[in-house]
Structure 1
Amino acid sequence: MTTYGVSVLGADLTALAAASDAADRAGFDAVWASEFYTRSGSISMAAMAGSTRQCRIGSSILYGVGRSPLVLATEARDLDELSNGRVILGIGNGTKRMMSDWHGVPDTSAPAVRMEELVTLLRRVWNLHNGPVHHDGRFYTMHLVPTGEVEPPVRDIPIITAGVRPRMCEVAGRVADGLAGHPLFTTKYVEEIVRPAIAKGAAHSERNPADVEVISMVMCSIHDDPLIARRELAQQIAFYSSVRTYETVLDVNGFSAEGRIIREAFAEHNFQAMFDAVTDDMIDAMGVAGTADQVRRGLTRYEGVLDHIMLYAPSVGIAPERVQENIDSLIRECAPGKRPPR
Structure 2
Amino acid sequence: MTSDPSTTATQRGVSLVCAGHDVHEVAALAAHAEQAGFESAWAAEFYDRSAVVAAAAMAAVTETITVGTGIAYGLGRTPLVLAAEARDLDAVCGGRLILGLGTGTRRMQQDWHGLSGEHPAPRVEELVPLLRRLWRLDEAPVRHEGRFYRTHVVPTAPVAAPTRRAIPVYLAGVNARMVRAAGAVADGLVGHPLFTPEYLRHTVRPALQAGADRAGRTGAVPVAGYVICAVDPDENHARRLAAAQIAFYASVKTYDAILALHDFTDEAAAIRAARRAGDLEAMVAAVSDRMIDTIAVAGTPEQVRTQFTTRWAGLYEQTLLYPPSFAGRSATTAVLDAFAPLTCTPTK
- Aligned partners of 2:14 and 2:343 also within 8 Å: no
- Paired residue for 2:265? 256
Distance change (3 Å), C-alpha of 1:9 and 1:90 = same
Going from structure 1 to structure 2, the CA distance change for 1:338 and 1:104 (only over 3 Å counts) comes to: closer
Contact 1:198 1:209 in 2 (8 A): no
User: What is the identity, as a one-letter code, of the residue corresponding to 2:28?
Assistant: A
| Displacement of 1:152 | 4.2
Residue identity over aligned pairs, in percent, reads 47
Displacement of 1:151 in angstroms is: 4.5
How far off its partner does 1:17 sit?
Answer: 1.3
- Name the structure, 1 or 2, with higher relative contact order (CA <8 Å, separation 6+): 2
* Secondary structure, aligned partner of 1:335: helix
Distance in 2 (alpha carbons) for counterparts of 1:268 and 1:152: 54
Is the Cα contact below 8 Å between 1:8 and 1:32 reproduced in 2?
A: yes
Alignment-derived partner of residue 222 in structure 1: 231
Q: Secondary structure at the match of 1:217?
A: strand
Name structure 2 gaps, 5 residues minimum: 1-10
Letter in 2 for 1:164: V
Q: Deviations over 1:235-262 (max 9, x none)?
A: 1111100011111110112212211221
How far, CA to CA, are the matches of 1:338 and 1:13 in structure 2?
24
Other-structure match for 1:57: 67
Verify the 8 A CA contact 1:191 1:305 in the aligned structure 2.
Answer: no
8 Å Cα contact 1:4-1:30 kept in structure 2:
yes
Once residues 136 and 286 of structure 2 are traced to their aligned partners in structure 1, the CA distance between those partners, rounded to angstroms, is: 50
Unmatched tracts of structure 1, length 5 or more: none
Deviations along 1:26-52, one digit per CA (max 9) or x if unpaired, are 110100001111111111011101111
Change (3 A) 1:338 1:85: closer
2:283 aligned with 1:274: yes
Q: Aligned match of 1:326 in 326, 331, 339?
A: 331
Aligned to 2:211: 201
Q: Which amino acid aligns with 2:332?
A: I
* Structure 2 counterpart of 1:158: 168
Amino acid at match of 1:224: P
Instruction: Give yes or no for contact 1:28–1:336 (8 Å, CA) kept in 2.
Output: no
* Residues 293-323 of structure 1, C-alpha deviations (whole Å, 9 max, x = no match): 111121122223211111111144xxx5xx3
Is the counterpart of residue 103 in structure 1 residue 113 in structure 2? yes
CA contact (8 A) 2:191 2:224 kept: yes
Equivalent residue, structure 2, for 1:145: 154
**Over aligned residues, Cα RMSD in angstroms?**
1.5
Change (3 A) 1:284 1:117: same
Q: Choose from 14, 32, 36 the match for 1:22.
A: 32
Paired amino acid for 2:330: E
2:59–2:92 Cα contact (<8 Å) kept: yes
User: What is the correspondence of 1:298-337 to structure 2 with a 5 Å cutoff?
Assistant: 298-300=307-309, 301-316=311-326, 320=327, 323-337=328-342
Give the one of 133, 140, 152 matched to 1:124. 133
Match 1:245 to one of 242, 248, 254: 254
SS in 1 for 2:138: helix
Q: Is the 8 A contact 1:41 1:59 kept in 2?
A: yes
Is the CA contact (8 Å cut-off) linking 1:173 and 1:209 kept in structure 2? no
Match of 1:168 in 2: 178
**Deviant stretches of 4+, over 6 Å:** none
**What residue identity is the alignment partner of 1:66?**
G
Calculate the TM-score normalised by the size of structure 1: 0.93
Distance apart, 1:13 and its partner CA = 1.9
Residue 337 of structure 1 deviates from its aligned partner by 4.6
Whole-angstrom distance in 2 between the partners of 1:310 and 1:146 = 39
What is the aligned residue count? Answer: 332
Contact 2:15 2:321 in 1 (8 A): yes
Contact 1:234–1:283 under 8 Å retained in 2: yes
Contact 1:163–1:181 under 8 Å retained in 2: yes
Separation of aligned partners in 1, 2:333 and 2:174? 28
